[in-house]
Amino acid sequence: MSLVKFNGKRFPWNESLVDFFNRDTFVDDDFFNLEKSHPSMNVKEHDDDFEIEIAAPGFNKKDFEITMKDDILEVSAKKSNEETKKDEEYTRREFNYSAFTRTMQLPNSVDRSKEVKATYKDGILKLNLLKMEEAKQNHKKVIEVV
């Protein structure tokens, strides 16, 4: 048996105006879930490497930080922009801030001693992680269902 966090929204007939203003119910809303704001990712496995594509439009190459420690690969990016214009009797100030972090556990077949190749083009960050020689030689075994 495992413990599962109770979601009060599971029983709509129990909802009331008082429950709506309950801090835990309000803050646990999907709007405040920061994990939902990470970019989409594709992972492809080839014979020699793994290819990871992350959709991150609007960033520059210098905005990314990619780290690998033990079996954890972390990709993060931060970007901020601020513009101030002064005209006559008013000031207009516009700013934006974008950031994300994607963390993934690498399979044992990734060669951590080899350099990871990273390229960024047309809003897609592409990473290539080479496989170890032993993993390249292991071919897929097809098992027949009887």
Mean pLDDT of successive 10-residue stretches along the chain, which has 146 residues: 48 48 43 62 92 94 93 92 72 81 90 92 95 76 87
Position 126 scores a pLDDT of: 97
- 9 in a structural domain: no
- Structurally, the chain folds into a number of domains equal to 1
The tokens describing 39, both together, are: 């970019």
Position 9 scores a pLDDT of: 52
Residue whose C-alpha is closest to residue 45's, from 139, 142, 144, 112: 139
Position 5 scores a pLDDT of: 47
Residue whose C-alpha is closest to residue 120's, from 32, 36, 74, 55: 55
Position 57 scores a pLDDT of: 93
- 16 in a structural domain: no
- 124 in a structural domain: yes
- 115 in a structural domain: yes
Model-level pTM greater than 0.75?
Answer: no
CATH at residue 70: 2.60.40.790
- 104 in a structural domain: yes
